[in-house]
Structure 1
Amino acid sequence: MSNVLSTGTGALIAFQRALATVSHNVANINTEGYSRQKVSFATRNPTDYGYGYVGSGTQISDISRVADQLAISRLLDSNGELARLNQLSSLSDRVDSLFSDTATSVSGLWSNFFDSASALSSDASSTANRQSLLDSGSALTTRFKQLSGQLDSLNTEVNNGLLSATDEVNRLTQQIAQINGQIGTSSASAAPDLLDQRDQLIKELVGYTGGTAVQQDGGFVNVYTAGGQALVVGTTASKLTTTPDPYQPGKLQLALQTQGMNVSLDSRALGGQMGGLLEFRSNVLEPTQAELGRIAVGLASSFNDAHAEGMDLYGAMGGDFFSYASPSVSSNPANTGTASLTASYGDLSQLDGQNLLLKFDGTQWTATRSDTGASVALTGTGTAADPLVVNGVQVVVGGAAAAGDRFLLQPTANVAGSLTVAITDPSRIAAATPVKGAATLSNLGTGKISNVQVTDSNNANLLTGSTIAFTDATHYTIDGAGPYTYTAGQTIAANGWSFTLDGAPSTGDSFTIGSTGAGSSDNGNAKLLAAVEDLKAFNGGTMSLNGAVSGLTTSVGSAARSADYAAQAQQVINDQAQSARDSVSGVNLDEEASDMLRLQQAYQAASQIISTADTMFQSILGAIR
């Protein structure tokens, strides 16, 4: 009778705890990272009565979680990559909207500016047209400043994102290391909920840093970044920190604190959200800033060059229409020499805007790209007479450089925000060609001056009058110098000007070149200003300024679409990995309901065994009263 009671009681307790586990599963159906728990039953040790063994019921041998470590690892990898791509896509879309939306892009105001230049070329004497050119120029430079400011704000967001993510990573690594210690060297005896908690923390950590989790022999799980740096090893957690870039204090980098030292992490060493932030900054944000600055330099330099070749209404040669900053050079704090570098723009067609590292090895300078480390051709010695020349930038070295000194050259990254219109007086717009030509009235030939141009606006004799006299049909003199051979259609040039003749000059014919003078309504230089946007200024003379503006919009949009497509594809992969994990570890209400019904019936049967044992006991008591 006692054996029957013990068997029933043991079964009742076992089924009660199994029902509690089923209830625990159902209660956590919406708990993220929860793995379904399974109860395993085993027979209790039987009793030997001499004639044989009599069973003593059942007991719970194990309550374990149902999990496939391979599916969990696949989900971790997928989750980290999805976090990286979502972060990259989100920020890239914001840059794309700045350059594609008509309300914020540079394209519309760019067109307005050159439309105003075209209107001025139609009526160079119009004060309204001159003022319109100044106003549209101011609006265009303001848009460059706004875009530059927005890009700077995105850089600040990247810094803030790295700071907040670093705090979260350090919190998660500490908790994972702590749980590793609680689980000990054997996960088989650990609480299933504790294992789920650790997996969920690892999932969150990998969402920030990317990487993998590696199960050690026993119970510990080590976590590594995408680049292989250890974040958690057993019960030891590494600490992530941010450090300022040595050349750009406003740009934060990531480092691991190891033995009291900061070990810098390459941007390619991280995945997850942090990897997405770093990739966005290096592959989208900084190239966009550099290209926007390059376009600003190209516009200002080309327009200023054309403007300098004209004459304003006061009779003065045109000055700078735009003002803009020079290339930026920053020294490494670890430099031991006294050298300071000053940069200026040289050959615009060679300017590519790439940030460069300039290094002095004790005898000569070398240049490499700051993003890839690829070597870049550099010439010159660095003196004022022979400056360093690299990618369209000239650098003069002042002071004495020491071996190992390094400098960061940013040709265009900080230029867009500095662009302004340098003049405020509409009469200062140099719309006229500064020299004009005329044929002497007594000329007998059919020669007429055309295509008068300025070839050197800095020539001291540009505005000095000159006489071109033909001694015969094939020879001419300039202010008595010569004679020079003439062939039909050739260009005649001197003193910074040039022209061609239509028709045929006769012996004794003469022509004069002189200053246009103040108050002229000539529109010759205004036509050159209007044509600046189509100048082949970039990429070795193969790309126009207008093409560069369109190219920037296209490249930003392409980067955003590429990131978006990659994120969408990764979402599908992640959903599949999640489904694979849930198919094994997820809670199925139908299955749990079936288990609950089965265990409930077993529980009732065990209760009936106890009731039967009680009836038997009462019968015995009644028999001996």
Structure 2
Amino acid sequence: MGGLFHTLNLGAESLYASRQGVDTAGHNIANAQTEGFSRQRVNLEQRQPSETRGVMIGNGVFVKNITRAHDMYLEKQINDTNQNLGQSQARFEAMKPLEGIYSPELNNTLSSEMDRFFNSLQDLSNFPEEMTVRTSVRETAQNLVNSFRRIDSSLKMQRDDVNLRIGGEVGEVSTMLQEIARLNIAIKTAETINTPEVPDLMDQQDRMLRDLTKRIDINYYRGEHGMVVVRGPQETLLVDRGHPARFEVVTRGDGTNLYDVVVIDGSSHQPTVITEVNKRGRLAGLVQVRDHVIPDMLEHNNEMARTLVDHMNAIHQQGFGIKDFKETTGRNFFDLGGDRRNAAANIRLDGMIEESTDAISVASSPNAPGDNVMVNHMLRLKEKKLMGDGRSTMQDYYASYVGGFGLDLVRSEQIQKADETLTLNLNSRREAISGVSMDEEATNLLKWQANFTASSKVITTIDEMLDTVLQMKR
């Protein structure tokens, strides 16, 4: 009788193993389209045999564990590439809107407005007393002022937009760190009670880590009980067991209202500013555009405004106007309001010229209405090499820095596409290893079904044998 019950137990164990195989195959099929899911497999192991009457008798099978098809080293490669991809994507996305500020399709580009201004000065040289010509000079000068201001305000608006994106990215990173820490506890608990859900929890955590690597430069490893430890820039401890670091932004105290990224980890409880030391991920790309690309463009615009104002005023102060201004000199053409550092934002026409075009000084001597000496000096500024330490004219300088930005934008797009291709290839390799094949899983279902049928047959056979034994006793 003991032998029959032993065989009955073998059949029951085999039945359980087959059912677990069917469940796992069904689980794989159900999650075939789930992002980040890794195909799972049932690992069976034979039980230790036992000796009965001098013969070693097998004790059947048991489900050792359920594991996922996962390549740890490939996962590291993917995450490393994700950091480069996140940076190049964010950099290109943040730079692309800047292209519209300098688009040649605009009718009021700085270059075209400067041409119109100097053309109007040419007309003034020919007709220094003509009121309509003087009005045209004032209008084209005002349009040039507006063009400087438009570029300045547009760049600052884009900088503020990128700054808000940085705040949004930091909020998402903070949420991810909390979720990774929560999954750490769940994985530890699951491994402790030896449940089969650990592969699913690790898949969720790996997916979260892939998203996190797109946003910030991190290193991580799995430690005790499968829990992941995440470190950020400057060795800041972002996740340790169930404890996430505080990841937040603080406003700079320089009056710009721009954000610095700050980490307060659990070990030091001291804030660590990682704005500049974080070199990869979306945050790095956004910070680079906000703190380097846009400020460089702003400074180029300011430098052009300062140069134009200084040289125009230096000439205009020596000249004489007409009518009420025919005997007075020393007037500026443009005004910066005392703030040379932000010249493009503060440039405007001199108040006297705004009130009367008679104040435009083109004569080199008083009471000489037909004199055009000073306006000819102003005209020569167009061809003078005033920019770049005397290497280029203002128009050449504008074309050079706008062209340099265009090349940088093209390079950024090319780098993004290269990173996307590399990431796509790595993800394809991961899919080949961890992805679910519907054909394979359908075959597995048939296999496990056959095993289940055979195991059931063992049980029914033993049941019949037990019934025969009981009938013999009666």
Whether TM exceeds 0.5 here: the answer is yes
Residue type matched to 1:131 in 2? T
Structure 2, unaligned runs of 5 or more: none
Counterpart of 2:336 in structure 1: which amino acid?
Answer: Y
Matched residues, number:
459
Question: What CA distance in whole angstroms lies between the structure 1 residues aligned with 2:386 and 2:257?
Answer: 32
Tell me the CA shift for residue 152 of structure 1.
Answer: 1.4
The whole-number CA distance in structure 1 between the counterparts of 2:441 and 2:318 is: 86
> What's the CA shift for 1:117?
1.9
Structure 1 distance, partners of 2:310, 2:382, is 12
Mapped to 2, the partners of 1:589 and 1:108 lie a distance apart of: 62
* Secondary structure class of the residue paired with 1:533: coil
The Cα RMSD (Å) is: 2.5
1:153 is matched with 157
Instruction: Quote the offset at 1:58 in angstroms.
Output: 2.2
CA change 1:270–1:225 in 2 (3 A) is: farther
Deviation (angstroms), 1:201: 1.8
Q: CA deviation at 1:89?
A: 0.8
Does the Cα contact within 8 Å between 2:233 and 2:274 map onto a contact in 1? Answer: no
CA positional deviation for 1:285 = 0.8
**Separation in structure 1 between the aligned mates of residue 452 and residue 115 of structure 2, nearest angstrom:** 83
Q: Where do 1:307-322 residues align within 5 Å?
A: 307-314=316-323, 315=326, 316-317=328-329, 319-322=331-334
Describe the SS at the equivalent of 1:546.
Answer: helix
Aligned partner (choices 81, 93, 98) of residue 95 of structure 1: 98
Q: Specify which of 430, 433, 436 is matched with residue 361 of structure 2.
A: 430
Counterpart Cα distance in 2 of 1:91 and 1:286: 14
1:361-510 correspondence to structure 2 within 5 Å? 411=341, 414-422=342-350, 423-424=353-354, 425-432=356-363, 434-435=364-365
Q: CA 1:566–1:247 in 2, change beyond 3 Å: closer, same or farther?
A: same
| Cα pair 1:35 1:196 within 8 Å, conserved | yes
Identify the residue that residue 247 of structure 1 maps to in structure 2.
254
Match of 2:243 among 223, 236, 245: 236
Counterpart residue identity of residue 7, structure 1: L
**1:530 aligned partner:** 379
CA displacement 1:107-155 (0-9 Å, x = unmatched): 2222222222222223223222221221122122212222211211122
Counterparts in 2 of 1:67 and 1:543: CA distance versus 1, 3 Å: same
Secondary structure of the residue aligned to 1:241 is: strand
Corresponding letter in the other structure for 1:143: S
Does 2:85 correspond to 1:82? Answer: yes
- Measured against aligned partners, the alpha-carbon deviations of 1:192-243 in whole angstroms (never above 9, x if no partner) come to 1111122122222222212222233552322122553321233332212222
Give structure 1 regions of 4+ aligned residues with deviation exceeding 6 angstroms.
185-188
Alignment-derived partner of residue 112 in structure 1: 116
Q: 1:213 aligns with which of 212, 216, 220?
A: 220
Q: CA deviation at 1:585?
A: 1.7
| CA distance in 1: counterparts of 2:14 and 2:214, whole angstroms | 45
Hey, what's the Cα distance between the residues in 1 that align with 2:70 and 2:399? Answer: 53
Candidates 113, 116, 121, aligned match of 2:125: 121
The one-letter amino acid paired with 1:219 is G
CA distance in structure 2 between the partners assigned to 1:102 and 1:311 by the alignment: 39
Q: Distance in 2 between matches of 1:3 and 1:218?
A: 36
Matches of 2:248 and 2:255, distance apart in 1: 17
Preserved contact between residue 100 and residue 553 of structure 1 (Cα < 8 Å): no
Q: Which structure shows the bigger proportion of residues in helix conformation? A: 2
Q: Which residue of 1 aligns with 2:435?
A: 586
Corresponding residue for residue 423 of structure 2? 574
Q: Provide closer, same or farther for how the CA distance between residues 597 and 129 of structure 1 changes in structure 2, counting only shifts above 3 A.
A: farther
**Structure possessing the higher relative contact order (Cα contacts under 8 Å, 6 or more residues apart):** 2
Q: Structure 1's 121 and 295: CA in aligned 2 closer, same or farther, altered over 3 A?
A: same
Distance 2:226 2:400 in 1: 55
Residues 118 and 382 of structure 2 are in contact (CA less than 8 Å); yes or no, is this contact kept in structure 1? yes
Give per-residue Cα distances to partners, 1:490-542, cap 9 Å, x unaligned.
Answer: xxxxxxxxxxxxxxxxxxxxxxxxx4x15x13332222222222222223222
Q: Give the CA deviation at 1:323.
A: 1.4
Distance 1:157 1:144 in 2: 20
Letter in 1 for 2:260: Q
Amino acid at match of 1:430: S
Contact 1:116 1:136 in 2 (8 A): yes
Where does residue 288 of structure 2 map in the other structure?
279
* Structure 1: gaps (5+ residues): 328-343, 345-410, 436-514
Q: Structure 2 CA distance, aligned partners of 1:29 and 1:531?
A: 72
